[in-house]
Amino acid sequence: MTRLTGNALRVTVFIGENDTWHHKPLYSEIVHRAHAAGLAGASVFRGIEGFGASSLIHTSRLLSLSEDLPVAIVVVDTEERVRAFLPQLDELVGEGLVMLDDCEVIRYVGRGDSPGETDTKGKRSL
């Protein structure tokens, strides 16, 4: 389990939902590679509307029938680990936007890692 508190680096990747890598969703490949690299965490968020460098607006509104909605993949870890992962993103992301932001991790705890009692829903109290 990766421990992470204090200063960190967040990389956010904006791509299209239909972007692929070897016939599988690109966002899934990025998450799996981040996991294999031992990074602290990665999440994928599906947008409802947006546009990028192509200036095409992609939307989930019924009349537009767009299926290539915007997707954001967010990965957070130490600066050293994130920067070591950037060459993989360079290989994977042909079209899209990759951003780096400094951030501060206040709390990063997985299930079973925190002291306290477990309530009936499996949540731990502080």
Q: Which residue has the higher pLDDT, 112 or 70?
A: 70
Residue 113: pLDDT band with limits 50, 70, 90? low
- The count of structural domains within the chain is 1
Residue 114: pLDDT band with limits 50, 70, 90? low
Q: What is the extent of the structural domain holding 38?
A: 6-105
In a domain, 59, yes or no: yes
In a domain, 78, yes or no: yes
pLDDT for res 103: 95
For the chain, what is the mean pLDDT? 85
Share of the chain above pLDDT 70, in %: 79
In a domain, 125, yes or no: no
In a domain, 67, yes or no: yes
Place of tokens 């890692």: 113
In a domain, 121, yes or no: no
In a domain, 53, yes or no: yes
Percentages of the chain per state (helix, strand, coil), in multiples of 5: 20, 35, 45
Give the residue from 25, 15, 10 showing the smallest Cα distance to 52: 15
Q: Which residue has the higher pLDDT, 22 or 48?
A: 22
* Residue 5 pLDDT exceeds 90: no
Return the C-alpha torsion angle 91, 97, 103, 106, nearest 10: -80
* Residue 22 pLDDT exceeds 50: yes
In a domain, 114, yes or no: no
Q: What is the CATH number of the domain that holds 10?
A: 3.30.70.120
70 burial type by CB count under 10 A (0-12 exposed, 13-18 middle, 19+ buried): buried
